[in-house]
């Protein structure tokens, strides 16, 4: 029987109140004894096929490659792994469905979740509706406002949305509140964490549930293009879509790039570029990179995208950064909006603002990798989610900046 | 034996329960914290837990979380909390325990923080989000500086976990009466007291009961009988609330003194 790795190099672990330790042990046992069984895996696989709509498409995006690199010196081709086509519109459902199914098998009577962009909240509410489990979602009050369509969806799905008014009133604070609720109702409540972050076993569990993205993409790349991509690019909030697509390529000769949110710029005080600008610390139960001051106080992150607006990052990414296996870049709010606009106009796909950060760095990845390999390269982008939820934010931004080209 | 061990030994010889008072240092100001802590000592506190405010206090309920936010706004930092400890030591010999989250310690050099804490006459440390497995390095550095490390035991801790915690406890151990955050109501205090007493006798390390103790009557229940109960009780949220409700520092000092005295009297009543 395999045991889950609790740490990734110097990162990960469990930094939680003693009260929660038994629940994490219990969850770890659930992963080992329930989630890893053939019966569970085949039930989940069938749900992912018939309900979520997996496998998701792999789309060749020549027009985008041409738009990003008109001379074709850096980018030979761009491929899109279409997680936006999942039911509920983002990769989050892969994880939520797995965790809620596990919670149900473990006999939990109630599921809670935190959410930033609302995608994980919607995914958890969806899984809970399907599997008939009461669901409560904690969401920062700022995010309740900027992701209003997702709040309405969660309510329609029968979930209770709890606006969080503490701290920066964003994702970090939603997770604080979810942890407080969990400590208080731990015996009968399952906490469905939305990213590859938090105390062990969450980073491993979420990565295990999201690796379907990379497994499918790798097989489809080989089948449809006859080769692996030269580079894989994904946005990084807590890091779940990124680790999900990257795990399948870790042992290949494929360059891996994560893109964080640079907000107003990594040189300013308003960004969420934890791996680029953070330091090693403990937040939400794991040791990883965090944005904090010299006294150890966690700093507020800033990003136009609620799903990346987080001063922490999953521990596996901290390790992959230190080992150099993954390169982490950061894209500003402006770059993300421009990238979202470009993808919409060239490909007819409205991407989430989170995802837009990955697109914002595809040209740079092309330059770096073509220089290294001495030829134009192909890049696979994890298109983690659709952008309908962001139309309000995008409209306001475009209006303030004088409209799109 | 350190100041904490001596204090428990003395209390035991007198057949008395320990009264531990928690304050969030910096709430409402650094200056006020010194005065309020001394008011708690005058009211009969045997030991002080000096709370280091943290931006993301996930183990705390709204009352202590608000206090932490006020303290941070007032400029409280770990070095300033240590300054308060130093000033308290000039006035009192009660043991001082640093009550903190992990990150303010871990962003610094541990040997240096431990030395600074010792120089500020801190006697022990309690790190809420550092379970026994994760606290090995801290225990080593703390021991080198002569500081006790107080582990938490919860009602949800397995026997094996409780044993592991007790076997590394120095000074005392803290039994969390509820599965919840600080300030939670309706704690099963009698059960907690008996569990704490059992661990204490079995391992020969004092165990106090905390969380949910906010009145003289609950303090008595949490302390339990002299032969079967806990070695003492911790009062936090009630003190912090009294400070929050007061209109001035002198008002707050009076309220803290009166509250702690009422708890002391209840614990000492035959
Ligand atoms: C579409 C989309 N992509 C990415 C993210 C960021 O999360 P993660 O880094 O865990 O993939 C979110 C989070 O809400 C999201 O909704």
Structure tokens at A297: 């106080």
Q: Identify whether the C-beta of residue A204 lies closer than 8 Å to the C-beta of residue A24.
A: no
Q: Return the closest-CA partner of residue A179 out of B65, B245, B16.
A: B65
Per-residue pLDDT band at A168 (split at 50, 70, 90): confident
The reply to whether the predicted model has a pTM over 0.80 is yes
User: What is the model's pLDDT at position B186?
Assistant: 59
Pocket-testing residue among A119, A272, A356, ligand 1, by greatest number of atoms within 8 A of Cβ: A119
Nearest atom in ligand 1 to the alpha carbon of residue A237 is: 9
**Contacts A188 to B, Cβ<8 Å:** none
Alpha-carbon gap, residue A359 to A274, rounded angstroms: 19
| Mean pLDDT over the full length of chain A | 96
Alpha-carbon gap, residue B262 to B231, rounded angstroms: 18
| Mean pLDDT over the full length of chain B | 95
CATH level 2 (architecture), domain A55-89+210-400: 3-Layer(aba) Sandwich (3.40)
User: What is the model's pLDDT at position B184?
Assistant: 60
Q: Identify whether the C-beta of residue B74 lies closer than 8 Å to the C-beta of residue B61.
A: no
Is pLDDT at A1 greater than 50 in this prediction?
no
Alpha-carbon gap, residue A228 to A212, rounded angstroms: 16
**Predicted complex ipTM exceeds 0.85:** yes
Nearest CA in chain A to B152: A18
Pocket-testing residue among A235, A286, A381, A388, ligand 1, by greatest number of atoms within 8 A of Cβ: A235
**Contacts A281 to B, Cβ<8 Å:** 103, 106-107
Is pLDDT at A2 greater than 60 in this prediction?
no
Per-residue exposure over B159-194, b if at least 16 CB sit within 10 Å of its own CB, e if not? eebbebbbeebbbbbbbbbbbbbbbbeebebeebbb
User: What is the model's pLDDT at position A3?
Assistant: 43
What's the structural domain count of chain B?
A: 1
Largest Cα span, chain A = 60
Q: Does the Cβ of A237 fall within 6 Å of ligand 1?
A: yes
pLDDT digits (tens, 9 = 90+) for B101-157: 999 999 999 999 999 999 999 999 999 999 999 999 999 999 999 999 999 999 999
Q: Which of B107, B133, B181 sits opposite A296 (nearest CB)?
A: B107
Cis peptide, bond prior to residue A82, ω within 30 of zero: no
Interface mutation target, options A188, A278, A295, chain B, most CBs of B under 10 Å: A295
Domains of chain A, residue spans: 15-49+92-203, 55-89+210-400
Q: Is B27 a residue of the active site? A: no
DSSP result, A356-394: HHHHHTHHHHHHHHHHHHTS-EEEEEEE-BB-GGGHHHH
User: What is the model's pLDDT at position A5?
Assistant: 59
Give the residue, B182 or B247, on which the prediction is more confident: B247
Which residue range(s) make up the domain with B121?
3-268
Q: Mapping DSSP to helix (H, G, I), strand (E, B) and coil, where does residue A58 land? A: strand
Give the CATH number of the domain where residue B145 resides: 3.20.20.70
State the average pLDDT over residues A326-351: 98
Per-residue pLDDT band at B183 (split at 50, 70, 90): low
Is pLDDT at A405 greater than 60 in this prediction?
no
Q: Does the Cβ of A195 fall within 6 Å of ligand 1?
A: yes
Strands B173-176 and A326-332: unpaired
pLDDT digits (tens, 9 = 90+) for A15-58: 999 999 999 999 999 999 999 999 999 999 999 999 999 999 99
Alpha-carbon gap, residue A202 to A110, rounded angstroms: 18
Options 1.10.565.10, 1.10.10.10, 3.40.50.1100, 3.60.20.10; CATH for A15-49+92-203 is 3.40.50.1100
Please identify every residue of A annotated as catalytic: 92, 114, 384
Largest Cα span, chain B = 48
Burial of B248 (0-12, 13-18, 19+ CB in 10 A): exposed
Per-residue pLDDT band at B178 (split at 50, 70, 90): confident
Q: Do B131 and A284 touch (CB under 8 A)?
A: no
pLDDT digits (tens, 9 = 90+) for A234-276: 999 999 999 999 999 999 999 999 999 999 999 999 999 999 9
- Cα of A354 from ligand 1 centre, angstroms: 6
pLDDT digits (tens, 9 = 90+) for B19-62: 999 999 999 999 999 999 999 999 999 999 999 999 999 999 89
User: Are A15-49+92-203 and A55-89+210-400 equal in CATH topology?
Assistant: yes
Burial of A188 (0-12, 13-18, 19+ CB in 10 A): exposed
């Amino acid at each position: 029987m395999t045991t889950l790795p609790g740490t990734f190099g110097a990162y990960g672990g469990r930094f939680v109140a003693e009260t929660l330790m038994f629940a994490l042990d219990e969850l770890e046992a659930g992963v080992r004894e329930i989630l890893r069984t053939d019966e569970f895996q085949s039930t989940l696989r069938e749900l992912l096929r018939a309900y979520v709509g997996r496998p998701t498409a792999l789309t060749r995006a020549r027009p985008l490659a041409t738009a990003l690199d008109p001379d074709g010196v850096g980018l030979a081709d761009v491929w899109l792994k279409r997680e936006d086509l999942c039911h509920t519109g983002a990769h989050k459902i892969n994880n939520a469905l797995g965790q809620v199914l596990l919670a149900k098998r473990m006999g939990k009577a109630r599921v809670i979740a935190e959410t930033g962009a609302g995608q994980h909240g919607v995914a958890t509410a969806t899984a809970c509706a399907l599997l008939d489990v009461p669901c409560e979602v904690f969401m920062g009050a700022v995010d309740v406002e900027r992701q209003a369509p997702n709040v309405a969806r969660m309510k329609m799905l029968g979930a209770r949305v709890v606006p969080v008014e503490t701290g920066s009133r964003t994702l970090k604070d939603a997770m604080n509140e979810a942890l407080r609720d969990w400590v208080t109702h731990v015996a009968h409540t399952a906490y469905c964490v939305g990213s590859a972050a938090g105390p062990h076993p969450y980073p491993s569990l979420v990565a295990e549930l999201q690796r379907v993205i990379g497994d499918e993409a790798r097989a489809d790349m080989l089948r449809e293009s006859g080769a692996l991509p030269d580079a894989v690019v994904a946005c990084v909030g807590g890091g779940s879509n990124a680790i999900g697509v990257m795990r399948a390529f870790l042992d290949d000769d494929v360059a891996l790039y994560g893109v964080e949110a640079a907000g107003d710029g990594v040189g300013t005080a308003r960004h969420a570029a934890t791996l680029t600008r953070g330091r090693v610390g403990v937040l939400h139960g794991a040791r990883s990179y965090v944005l904090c001051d010299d006294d150890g106080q966690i700093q507020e992150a800033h990003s136009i995208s609620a799903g990346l607006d987080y001063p922490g990052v999953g521990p596996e990414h901290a390790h992959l950064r230190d080992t150099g296996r993954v390169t982490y870049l950061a894209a500003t709010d402006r770059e993300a909006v421009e990238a979202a606009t470009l993808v919409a106009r060239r490909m007819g796909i409205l991407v989430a603002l989170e995802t837009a950060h990955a697109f914002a760095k595809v040209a740079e990845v092309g330059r770096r990798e073509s220089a290294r390999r001495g030829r134009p390269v192909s890049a696979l982008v994890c298109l983690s989610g659709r952008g309908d939820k962001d139309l309000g934010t995008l409209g306001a931004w475009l209006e303030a900046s004088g409209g799109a080209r | 034996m350190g100041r904490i061990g001596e204090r428990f030994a003395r209390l035991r010889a007198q057949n008395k329960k320990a009264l531990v008072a928690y304050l969030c240092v910096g709430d409402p100001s650094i200056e006020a914290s010194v005065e309020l802590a001394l008011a708690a000592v005058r009211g009969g506190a045997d030991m002080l837990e000096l709370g280091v405010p943290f931006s993301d206090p996930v183990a705390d309920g709204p009352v202590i979380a608000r206090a932490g936010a006020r303290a941070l706004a007032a400029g409280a930092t770990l070095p300033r909390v240590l300054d308060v400890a130093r000033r308290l030591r000039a006035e009192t010999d009660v043991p001082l325990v640093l009550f903190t989250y992990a990150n303010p310690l871990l962003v610094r050099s541990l040997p240096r923080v431990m030395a600074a804490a010792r120089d500020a006459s801190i006697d022990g440390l309690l790190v809420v989000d550092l379970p026994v497995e994760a606290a090995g390095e801290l225990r080593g550095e703390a021991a080198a500086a002569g500081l006790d490390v107080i582990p938490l035991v919860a009602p949800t801790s397995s026997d094996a976990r409780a044993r592991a915690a007790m076997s590394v406890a120095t000074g005392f151990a803290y039994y969390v009466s509820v599965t919840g955050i600080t300030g939670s109501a309706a704690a099963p205090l009698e059960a907690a007291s008996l569990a704490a007493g059992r661990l204490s006798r079995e391992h020969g390390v004092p165990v106090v009961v905390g969380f949910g103790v906010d009145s003289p009557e609950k303090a008595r229940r949490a302390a339990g009988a002299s032969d079967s109960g806990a070695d003492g009780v911790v009062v936090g949220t009630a003190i912090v609330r009294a400070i929050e409700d007061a209109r001035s520092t002198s008002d707050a000092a009076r309220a803290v003194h009166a509250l702690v005295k009422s708890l002391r009297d209840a614990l000492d009543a035959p």
